[in-house]
Structure 1
Amino acid sequence: MEKSEENKGDFEGGEVEGDESVDLTSFQLHDLEEIDLPLSLVELDLTANRLSVLDPRIGLLSKLKRLCLRQNLFDDVGVQPISYWDAISALNELVLRDNKLTRIPDVSIFKSLLVFDLAFNEIPSLNGLSKVPSTLHELYVSKNEVTKMEELDHLHELRILELGSNRLRVMENLQNLTNLLELWLGRNRIRTVNLCGLKCIKKLSLQSNRLISMMGFEDCVALEELYLSHNGILKMEGLSTLVNLRVLDISSNKIMAVNDIENLTRLEDLWLNDNQIASLDGIDLAVAGAREKLSAIYLERNPCAKLPNYATILRNFFPNLQQIDSEWFS
């Protein structure tokens, strides 16, 4: 195999420095024939190559904990061997992001799997998730073609679930994910919030969906970051119980007034830009609880942002502001 001149110096003779970790990111490799894969390998990163077939030697790396195949040319057949390579069954992290997969591969042999990344593929269904071990902490299936939230019930240890940029219409089957801390559902077709009783969520994104109401978050008292931009929300409501909220993004909606956040004493970032807020009258009372804490507020492209002394008024209301829209203060 001919190596490019810019990468040749990095692995002369097919050897890579370091026994425990091999990073071959962006070498544009079509195969691994000239690469030494020591049996002591713990981590193998093959990001941004031209691989479509798994080298069988990978299946012998019994100490391997992390395998990254991101941004290659693997299809379903190309990754199939991994399903029966028992020698690497102690794998903790498997990254198949940005390939050509159309289904979730069978990873049932990986009894200690913590991170499973299938983002940026062509997967239309979550069928196959039922075989993913219940040890999983992080699951990424964003930028696929998934239409339904399913086969999640057994993932009791899941901390992060990323299903953004799919074709989801309904939030469902989340009730068993009682340890979930982050839920990312931006760029879908969801109309109604349904968190199925989950209360531990700390970060939640429903950006670029079809919401018209903010109701549904009331019981998520642990929430620290809430992202709801680019929806059709008409009114700020259902927020008064979210006393741990630090970041609230409701930009690019249809909101006409700031409401229901006067008790949020930990609020630091408030994104209200690109709405229909006509006046600054009463905004100091509406955000009274965070008067000392608020460090950034965005109101640009609202009618009120055209008022004389707009920034001065806001700085008088909130003495510790460091940023108004794109303007920073020392």
Structure 2
Amino acid sequence: MTSSDNWNSRFLCFQSIRLYSLTYKLYHREATQRVEQSTELVNKRLMTELETGGNVRFEDGSSADVWFTSCHDLILSRFCVADYRVHGILGIKIHRITRVHNRMLRFRFESKLTKVTEDEDSPVMNKSPTVKKLQEYLFFVVDPALPGGDNQLMSLLEEGPMDPETYQQLGCDSAIPLSNSLSLCEKPRITHLINRAKKESWSDPCPFRHGHIVVCKVYLGKSLPVLDTKHRNSTTLRPIPSFVPSLPVCCPLRLCEKPPSPFVMMEEIKPGERNHYLSLTLLLMMIYYTWILHRNPESGLQRLDVSFNELTKLDDIAHMQSLDYIDASFNKLCTLEGMKGLSKLKYLDLSWNDLTNTRDDLSILRKHMSNLTNLDLRHNNWQKPEGLRLRTIGRLKSLSLLDNKPVTESESTAALRMAAGSRISQVSLLAHSRTDLVRPRSLSLLTCAQLLSQMSRNKPDRINENDSEWYLKVTALNLDGQHISKLSNLERLINLKWLSLSDNDLTKIEGLEQCVHLEELSLDDNCIYKIEGLSHLTRLHTLNLGFNYINSLDGCGLDKLSQLQCLSLECNRLSSLSGLAGVPSLLELYIAFTKFLILDLCGNPVSRESENYRLFVVYHLRTLKALDGIAVESSEGGNARDIFGGRLTQDFVAEKLGHSNFHEVQELDFPQFSLRLVDLGSGEHFINLRR
């Protein structure tokens, strides 16, 4: 390399550093200004509420409020892409909607409206339906070029808009600039901010990206398109209204291509002629929004650091296709849905977040960030964290550093082997299936499929490569611990009766449509969130779904399982058993370590025939607040502990040992359970017990 090339490279490096520094300063200044403006606005709101004695009050809304969603939809319906294409704007993002309760303006509005509608000379019919039809929701945006600057917004919310005469004195139209078109409302503000930005040495390419808009309720009276705008002033109108709104017509579709009509909705005016145009206004909402800009993916940001920001998702970076470095550590991310199309990304730090869904998030990484070389996934709430490293290495072939540890060749080999074994193939079916027709006699707590895989040698015989009859002979299949993430290739096993898929990575119950003869199904220790795809298994009598993430039983189809007798739901996230109301055949239900708050077992034999039924349930479900429609009293908890606490029973022993083969037990040792009563029956089951 020559000295000139060396100096050129240094110069280019210096220029890139300078550009990055200027960009950082720009966005730092913008963020600082936004915080200062937001803080100042909050202070002004509080002072206004205090000084007016509550006559002016501001209420921040949420998506749960009807008025919030109505106002949100109104803004979106009045946005037209064609109006903003020249500025590179694709949409609008609403951050906050505040409801304005102004008693003084409301009283003024209602008083004038009553006076107008009761006027005998008024051509408007004095009927409430007609009055409502003549009311419209219009928009108002503060013009920063007018005197008052940033104080205009709070003055507007407290005292209402200026009168037409004041606007005329300021050199504007003799009318209050209200409109049903966002573009026409925003035009003065956008023009002023663009002109001001041109005078600055280094400015935001979109100086108008953030703004406020006020939604007003306006009584229009009778109105027609104006053809001669020269006479648009208050002198040609009746003296009753306090202002004259201009009401442009906008196309109803947000994504339309046709620009809005330039006509305004007013009565056609002739000089000296009396006009019947009536107008009143009431301020309703203040909305804070941001314009969504079109960005050039070829010249985007390359390095992004958003750590320590309490972000829950990154839904606005998919367009940044030039990114090669992202640090999103120490946030509250729970999904990677917004991180798509980042094919150039090399470094990604997702440590110290709330990510849980191993299958979905790893799929996003594999599809959209396949060139990653450095990835950090530590300190998240991952499902199946023990196998996360090998699963990640198997999906991202370019990784050289994972969780700050180098990826070794042996790990790559093991990851490929795990990925190959995680798919249900013909080889795995032949190796793990059995053809027994009768369930083995055993007192073991293992499932039938698990027992047969250990005890039986009746594997299916495959005569040749074209032989497909062996599928029909399979009755039992044990695929425990195979890291399976999706159920597939089971449609030919139409005579399958016992299936065990414990300790896998399944997130969804699917692929069992043809296995209509299933009698026993084990799906415990997976990552399942919802019970589905089982309603056609009418012969199923045992279902194990323990150690999953199921949070509801409503509409899960268990009522279609007419022969279901045993259901295991231990260690899930259930808070109600309402979905079991239509399963009358159920005899055994296991719900240990489930935080129930409300349980209703009325009408079941257990609630009528069991001795001390209520206290027994209260003792075993410590978080229960109500049982059978009656609140659980604190005294009941004490009584339950007195009766059932500290008892050594057969159920207690079976729970702690994990089996009920009591004749094999030689020693029992429970030193930490404060046992005070032994109730093991006559002792014929514990014939070998020595201690």
> What TM-score results when the alignment is normalised by the length of structure 1?
0.49
By percentage of residues, which structure has more helix? 2
Larger radius of gyration between Structure 1 and Structure 2? 2
